[in-house]
Amino acid sequence: MFWLYLGAAVLLGGLTLAIAHHLLRGGTDVEAGGLTTLQKRAWIGIAAGVAAAMGLIAVFLVRGLELYDEHPATRLLVYSLIGCGVAIHSFVVPRTWRGEPRSWADERDLRVFERAPAVQGVAVLLALAIWTILLTEWFQSSGSIPIVFPSLIFLSTFFVHLVSVSFGILIGYRRSLREAWE
C-alpha cells in the first residue's frame, strides 16, 4: 500500500513538473536554441524538490501524523527524504555565486541567479501563510496545536526556501533580461 501511494505521489510529481515545464516554456532561451546549463540545473533541482515533496506527502498520507510523532523510523524516513531532496538540489543548483567564473555560465546567467532570491522570499511567505491558514482552520475548535507541527513548519519552509531558487532562476530567464546592468 505504501509503495502504491509513493508511486502515485511520484506520478503526480511528474505531472506537476510537466505542467510547470509547459507553462514556463516559450521563454527566451527555448526560442534562443536550447536551455542554458543553469536552466537545466534548475529543472533538475525542481524535479528533485517535487519528488521529495511528493514522497513526504505519501509518507504522511500512509503513516499519519501520529506515527511521525511516535515512531522514530517514520521520522527517519521523513528526514531522509528531505535530506535527499536538499542534497540533490544543492549539488545541481549553486547556493552562492560570488561572481567567480564558471565554465558553464556567463554574465547573463549570473544576473538571473542574482535575482532568484526575490522569488524565495515570496515562496517562504506563501508557505507560512498556507501553514497558518490550515492550522487555524484545523485546530480552531481544540484551541491548541500538536507539538509535531513546529518542526514540520520549519522543515517545510526550509525546503521551500531551497527549491524556490530554481523557480526564481526559470522565471528570471522567462522575464527576458535585456541588459547586463538592468
Using rule CB under 8 A, residue 107 touches another protein: yes
Using rule CB under 8 A, residue 179 touches another protein: yes
Among 63, 75, 108, 161, indicate the residue that binds another protein (CB under 8 A).
Answer: 108
Contact region with another protein (CB under 8 A), list: 28-36, 76-84, 86-94, 125-133: 28-36
Contact region with another protein (CB under 8 A), list: 97-105, 113-121, 134-142, 164-172: 97-105
CB 39 within 8 A of CB 169: yes
Using rule CB under 8 A, residue 37 touches another protein: yes
Among 2, 25, 34, 90, indicate the residue that binds another protein (CB under 8 A).
Answer: 34
CB of 173 to another protein, least distance (A): 9
If we measure between CA atoms, which residue out of 69, 49, 25, 48 comes closest to residue 156? 49
CB of 180 to another protein, least distance (A): 4
Using rule CB under 8 A, residue 23 touches another protein: no
Spatial distance between the Cα atoms of 172 and 91, rounded to a whole number of angstroms: 20
Whose cell is 547586463? That residue is: 180
If we measure between CA atoms, which residue out of 6, 18, 80, 26 comes closest to residue 43? 18
Among 28, 120, 156, 157, indicate the residue that binds another protein (CB under 8 A).
Answer: 28
Residue 120, CA distances (Å) to 6, 87, 95, 115, 117 in order: 27, 18, 12, 10, 5
